[in-house]
Structure 1
């Protein structure tokens, strides 16, 4: 006969054979050979619950156990989405986009300062474009990128509000999936394919 000790949650903490062990700690419960074999092999996990040896089913856990985890998951997904838009552009170059956009807009409008003109002309000289061509390309890309950023930020705020209003962590996944569907639809409108 096999006896199993258990903790306050009913999880087994040790196994003892009465023919081998004379001092078996308490509390303990009798197991059949099959229950013991299935349990130690991992085939079936048993616990001692309600005075009975029962197959234990792990309680369901939410995908995102906290609001912070749900927000972090969405931020990571938005970062992946934005990487598809920005492409393989190094961070130092991406950091220059706002000042380049400002310079290009001023250049196109004919109101560029000398430093802005120098910035546009320097890049144009190394990219085999005229300063006018480059400025127009930068303005077009900046307009498109800023529109995407505005929509992505709007979706993130919408998600944040929905997560903040929800108290059940089991519903966080559905909220995230709904916002992802909306983000994918927005990306498709912009000609961006997202998985």
Structure 2
């Protein structure tokens, strides 16, 4: 799959993706979520997520993430990895997302939740796809230590497709149909 084209301007990020599985749910982002690809008056879906992590725990959490139980590819709802986000509604896990963009939660100070769990969970969701092919995961703010280290370790440098400014894009292959594939190449 070809990397989506990214156009970045002040306060704007447009992502053109030719084959989205749920195009009615993809916001076109300009000055805010003002429209979607289809429908006159879309209602964006949003879910409250509780994070149990802090940026100050990043070193400890990266060590935890390197343990074997966290490197087993599974549905995030049932992962034994401490970093997995398991509180979303089932439909979030059941959709085979073609693209997952990690740009939350806040992560620029020690007391913030950080993106450690979001990066880990995005990687599990991409690896756990039922269909063949790759899941695309992009991480914003990779100029920061946590986003840099966790994206390289948990999404794997071997799957890195491209970096443009502060956005890093990974093509993560399906692990469900390829038994024996290592977590990272």
> TM-score scaled to structure 1, two decimals?
0.20
Q: Which has the higher strand share?
A: 2
